[in-house]
Each structure stands twice: as structure tokens, then as C-alpha cells.
Amino acid sequence: MKITLLPVLLMSLVALVAAPALAEAPDDYLATVAVAGRTDVERLANLGVDIAEVGDGVVTIVTRPADQAQLEAAGFAVTPTRESAASLRARFAPDGKAAADAGLYHTYAEACAEMRDLAQAHPKLAKVEILGKSFEGREILALRISGAPAGKKVPKVLVAGMHHAREWMTVEVPLALAQELLGKYGKDERITRLVNERAVHIVPIVNPDGHIWSQTQYSYWRKNRNDNNGNKAKGVDPNRNYGYQWGTVGASTSPSSDTYHGTGPFSEPCTQAIKRLAEREKFVADVTIHSYGQLILYPWSYAYNQNNPDRDLFLKLGAEMAKHNGCTVKESCDLYPAMGDTSDFMYGQTASLSFTYEICRQFIPAESEIARFCADNTKALLALIEAAGAVHARAHPDYATALRFRAHQLAHLAGVAEKLGATEAAGPKALLSALDETRSAMLAETRPAADAAGDRLAELSAIARGFDPPARAALRPVLQELKNAYLQEASSARGAKGAAERARTLDELLAL
Ligand code: 0X9
Ligand code: ZN
């Protein structure tokens, strides 16, 4: 696929502050990298490279001089394209003033006002909810749309936009969907039925701080605006911060990377806000909108070749939606593997049939394209909202897969903690609580009562033996507690002989 960053019409309408951002905003530019196949794409993702597009034998990345040099040293052939962030910025920042508006694109303030106006105009159908506050203290708003009588259970669908700051169209589509549902209610038979028989939660801006930064300071900005504890490099990639199989795949431990995963799973207020909403609502299906590439992606993202028990259903729903927006349906990892994205969490943890749209052919298309992308994608979303009445995700991964990944996660988290010099007593809260949660989950899944046949302990034992010493050390607290549980079991009235034997197995593992 060819990159065409067409001249953007809105430039004349946007005025920006240039100076303060530039010290930290590197001179990013788009470049192409030749790749021989999957392994190369995976290697790039694991180097924390910001991948914009994957084509046949070539990957388009957002890079900067120092990173290009590193990639070249790693053996990649990197060719800069003509489009640099500096040139984009020059067009966006003609006079150094803060933006009053972003032309036809919504600013954060405009989007919030529009949501409140819609709720006010349709009090029986729509309600604004404050999901939480961003790192810089801005409200993350959701619009809940439903005409179902209070208390009636209806299938719920989530549509979210703006995880990544420079993906402006991803705000427009959720807002257009809200307009469609509320504007045509009572006039259009299908829309009226869908609003009455579903609850649609719309979050146009998950990352308000990043959105504002991109619209007023630096158009190519991707992440949120976490100050990373005073680090010169700001921002965490919200789409590497969700907690399912959180680790290092396709992400970076370095705050200066555009795919920096943060100090721990769900370390960011914006991902916490979505987590709370998703765990409370239990959506049947959801779409998180990104750009660009004209793709509809479905789980898994965190690794190749994972079992997805709902693959056929994802493909069917994906094809249904693609009829309307012209996207290609793909498993996320087939684009490139990356952990910590929204869809893996939504599906893996909350059993929502979760899709990631990658709309458009560039990060910020011309304003003249907004209407078309909104119309096509609204139709695609309506197809999913319709289908949500009759579908359900089937299952979660089997215990062996889950256990293996928890173990890897534990080892990874322990590694990050060590790098940061964190101890149980002092360290990033998100990291410590993630360590704690992961250990507790492992224990809950392997405790004597959950493992009558002993196959979970056998799995754990195989995992521990396959680990190198530092990773095994991360497992020790779990092994120790499990051993105590079996010792207690062995000395209990039931006096299971098998329990003593299992305690001995654990002793052996602890002695490795
Ligand atoms: O890398 C991302 O977070 C998404 N692409 S974007 O260009 N919008 O940044 C893709 C997320 C889906 N997951 C994978 N492709 N693994
Ligand atoms: Zn994105």
C-alpha cells in the first residue's frame, strides 16, 4: 500500500503553539522499512517501533533520526518519505497561537459540548456519564444511548475513539453515530428499533490530553500526556496499557518510545476509565476506533497463533461490517503482534466481541473526507449494533494458556520492577497492584480446590522448569503460598496423601 499524506485543508483553520512542544517533540517522520516477512515485522514491533502501516514486503513507520540509526544498526533498510512531522507541524502552526478550533474536526471542548447538547435535547434517550479524569484532569465522557425502559436488560455495545492523539477522525465517527441514533429516532424504523432494543455507550475521546496536544502543539503526537515522573520524555501509549497479557510484545519499556507501555497494566487513568466501564457493563460487542489502514482487526493481538474460540464469529461480523466501510478483516497479530491493546482486554477479560477499526488512509485526512468516513463507518457500526442482539462470545482461553501467560506476565512485571528499583514497599502503584493481582489470580487458579486432578500443578511445574532463574524467582511467592496451602491440606482432617506429595513437588520447584 502506498502512503499519500494529501495536503490537508484544515491547516488554514488551525493555529498552534509551537515553541514549548518542540524541545520534547522529536522531529518524527514517516519512513518505509523493507521486511522479509512476519519475523521482521515482529522484530520491529518488539523494538518498540511505531508502526503506521504494514504492506507487502514493506512497513511504514513513524521514526526519528536516532531511532532510524538504531534500526539500521539492527540490519533494517530504512527509507524516509517526504512527509515529516516538522513539515506537518509547520503547516499546523503558522503563527504560534493556541488553536481556537480545529476546523471541521471537533476539539475536545466541542465534542464535550456536543455530547451534553445531545443529552439535553433527548433526555429520555441519552445521558452523559463522566467515566473518570485524564492524567491532566480532563473529564472522559461517555454518552449512553438507549430507549429501553429502565430495568429492562438489553444488549450493550461500546464504541470508543481517540486512544491515539493524532487520529482525529476517530473522534468524528463516534459522534456521527450518536447523531445518527438520536437524530433519526422516531423517524427511521430501524434506528428507532435499535435504540429501543440496545444500549450504546459512546466514548469519542478516551485520551483528551493527547488529543489537545495533537491539535494545538504537535500534530503527530500519539500517546497520552503522562509526565512519566518528571522524565523528559512524556506520554504512555494507551493502546499498550490495557492489562490483558500485558508484557513486552510490540511495546517498549522506555518512556521515549511511542509505544511505551507505562509503569504497569492500567497505570493510566484513561485506560482505567474504560476498564471500569467495561467491567460494569459487560458489553456484548465493542469497537475501538483507530487510524489508519482501512482494516477491521479482531483478537488476538498479543501473539501469533493463539486459539480464538470465537474466530468464525469475528470473521462473520467483521465481513458484515466491512461491506459498509470497505475495510479488510484481519486478526490483529497478523498486522503486527502487540500486547496491551483494548480489544485483547475487552475480549479476553470481559468477553466482549471486540474489534479495532483502523480507518482512513492517513492519520489526519482532509476535512472534505470527514463526511464520507463518518457515513460509511456509522453504517458499519450499526451492523454490529444490530447483530449484538443475537450473538455472544463463547469462551476464554483454557486454563493452561491463561496460566502460562500469567506466569510470563509475573516474570515481566518483576523485571520491570527491578529495572525501576521498585520494591514491595515502594514502587509505582500500578505495578505493585498488578504484581499482586497476577499472583492472586495464579493462586486462585492453582489452589488445591481448583485442581482436583493435579493437572494445573503439572502445568505450573512445567512452566517453572522452563523458566530461566530470574523469571523463576518471580514465581517463588506463588509457589511458596501454594506449598503452604498443600501442607495445610495434608495436615487437615481429610489428610489427603496426594496433598503431601504435591507439597513435595513444590518444594523441588522452590529448590531449583
Ligand atoms: O498499534 C496500535 O495500537 C494500533 N495501530 S495504530 O496505528 N492506530 O497505532 C493497532 C492495534 C491493534 N493491534 C495490533 N495490530 N497488534
Ligand atoms: Zn491508533
| Residue 88 pLDDT level (bands cut at 50, 70, 90) | low
Distance CA(446)–CA(437), nearest Å, equals 14
- Whole-number Å distance, alpha carbon 433 to ligand 2 midpoint, is 27
Q: Is residue 441 pLDDT above 80, yes or no?
A: yes
pLDDT digits (tens, 9 = 90+) for 368-396: 999 999 999 999 999 999 999 999 997 56
User: Which ligand 1 atom sits closest to the C-alpha of 237?
Assistant: 3
Q: Is residue 66 pLDDT above 80, yes or no?
A: yes
Which of 214, 259, 294, 335 for a ligand 1 pocket mutation test, highest count of atoms within 8 Å of Cβ?
A: 335
State the catalytic residue, choosing from 42, 331, 358, 489.
358
Q: Cis omega (within 30 of 0) on the bond before 221?
A: no
Q: Which residues are placed with Cβ below 5 angstroms of ligand 2, an ion?
A: 164, 290
Pairing of strands 295-298, 353-359: antiparallel
CA within 13 Å, CB half, 324: 17
- The pLDDT assigned to 87 comes to 58
Active site residue 167: no
| Residue 467 pLDDT level (bands cut at 50, 70, 90) | very high
Distance CA(435)–CA(353), nearest Å, equals 27
pLDDT digits (tens, 9 = 90+) for 478-490: 999 999 999 998 8
Tell me what percent of the residues of the chain surpass a pLDDT of 90. Answer: 70
Residue of the nearest CA to atom 14 in ligand 1?
332
pLDDT digits (tens, 9 = 90+) for 335-347: 999 999 999 999 9
Is the Cβ atom of 164 under 6 angstroms away from ligand 1? yes
Pairing of strands 29-34, 78-84: antiparallel
- Whole-number Å distance, alpha carbon 298 to ligand 1 midpoint, is 11
| Residue 145 pLDDT level (bands cut at 50, 70, 90) | very high
CA within 13 Å, CB half, 498: 9
Question: Which residue in this structure is represented by grid cell 526519528?
Answer: 64
48: left (phi over 0), alpha (psi -120 to 50) or beta: left
